[in-house]
Structure 1
Amino acid sequence: HWNFARTLANPPALARGQVRCQHEGREYKLFSRGRAEVSYVVGEFHWQVAVGESCQVEDYVCPPSMLSREVTASEASWSLGEYVDGSAIAAAFSVSEAPPKPIGVYANQPNPLAETLRRTCRLFWRMALAALLVQLAFAFLLASETVLKEQLVLSPLSEEASVSSREFVLKRRARTLLVRHQTDLSNNWLELSTALIEKNTGEAFVGEQEISHYQGVDEGESWSEGSPSDDVVFRAVPPGTYYLVVEYELGKDSSQAVVDKLEVERDPVAWSNFVLLLIFLAIFPLVARWRSAAFETRRWNESDVSEGG
């Protein structure tokens, strides 16, 4: 790994024990500290170097930059390093051979996955916004319509165990027709067979369901299981005059009659596909974030200071 460093004339102010510092509007975090000693000298320096000299060094990183402080008994000096690719170093010194490949993740090495994460997040929000606009367009342009509201009484003493609704008219084809059963069922179960019948042709659509709802108090804690309401959906229903025939079997856990508030809605707006699409789209930024975080984990595994310094 390579850095191009220059001495800082205006170093940041740093208090003893401080693990973060500011420089030119960027925050740097302490990455490593220790004592360095000169064991051998070769090359050209702009200060006098002697074997045996030692200093306390600290590195603060904000990729791709690194602030380094060297402290001796007589002075403290700062330098700012910028991470550069080895090929740039080779080109600067006209070295024809390829530089050695970097090993591991260096302290201020730029995260190559950070930009991927930013692009993926931007794309996610754009696609999520587009999906929301499409969903809202369906909600407003293809508005749903309630075509029937009726209250039925399901008696446990009834011999026929069947009730019929009023007639209602579908003026045009329904992509979906939702039949909602909202009951006051409590501590009992109910089996329903809901038949949607066209008055003139006798064509029928049948849906079966089971509803159960139990509740109580156990050792001072309230509990509830199941739900007193449920829906059945019929698809591609042609226009016509319809009515519902509800055949039922009521459990013996309770002798009370059940009130069923029946509601029929044409082309209700379904949000489930929109939610599933958002979940699918969210996979990509989550994976990108995980990969970027894994790179940062590899970086900080090389640090010799803890999160708190």
Structure 2
Amino acid sequence: MSRPAPSPIYTLRGAGGPLNTLHFSCNRGDTPLLFSGSGKGAIHMWNLNTRRAEKIVEGHSGSSVIWVSTLQATDTLISQGRDMQVCLWDLCEGRSEVMDSVWTGSVGFCQCSMLETSPGTRLLAFAGQQTEEIKIIELPSKTPVCTLVPDAKRGMVMCIKLWQPDSGHGPLLVAGYEDGSLLLWDVTQRSVLSQAKAHPEPIMCLTFDIKCLRGVSGSSENKLSAWTLDGQNNLQLQDYVTLVNPGVSQLCIRGDGKLLSSAGWDHRVRIFGWKKLRPLAVLQYHTDMVLSVAFSDHQDPRQRLLAAGSKDHRISLWSIYNEGGDTG
């Protein structure tokens, strides 16, 4: 007998719009936080102890917020909106002021990707003003690093992930495009190292596991495609899993590398074992498209949560610590 599907341990309401992006910050201080960005331009800071919004900030002129993150070891929030702005917020001592902003020129839905290169210095990658371009700048100086534009027509850049490999090689970036292609970029050389056709439809989302050099992407079709990087930085399509219904908004790998979660257009959240893409659970609660998923960064594994944000204006929180003992 299969176990009954679990229910959320609690839900957060009052965001006032579709929940496009979620980000946990549970390792600093006594108050675990969940940041959410809404389609109405609001960023909520949810206190997970009281289960209420501790603060609400608005800095994108009512435009949809599509990405939020926090800078490690600082009280700085970073947010991206469809007003073509990336904002840096000072949250120190209860403040909520925009310290700085970056104009991206992009009105698309491609979320930024950030990489800490040295203490206090970060690279920020974002879709640029031109359809296919990716711009990378250094923060906090905002010094331009490079612009990456493919030779062939790929259509709009849809999703990106920037990381620093262990090999000592310069930063790498993988990008998913409107034509279903994945391109692996060498940021230092501004060149494409390899490419693969992962989907017949536009790639809507991707995530990458730096530890095992393996990624996964989703599109408007009913398939997740997994791929790897070999020792020569060649993208190789590995395997795929077929979904019951088409459409994936976002993908997230848990920090321990055991679980993968997907946000579905069919209102469902799916959990897979990351090692073999084995389906483990289908979480049903939302009444509209699930737009975002995020695993918490609690140090204690027993406290770890999964959050899902939906077009129905609600965030569901799930405890899946004991879900699927064998997560292969």
Same fold (TM over 0.5): no
What is the TM-score of this pair, normalised by structure 2?
0.19
Between Structure 1 and Structure 2, which shows a larger proportion of strand residues? Answer: 2
User: Which of 1 and 2 has greater Rg?
Assistant: 1
What is the TM-score of this pair, normalised by structure 1?
0.20
More contact order relative to length (CA 8 Å, sep ≥ 6): 1
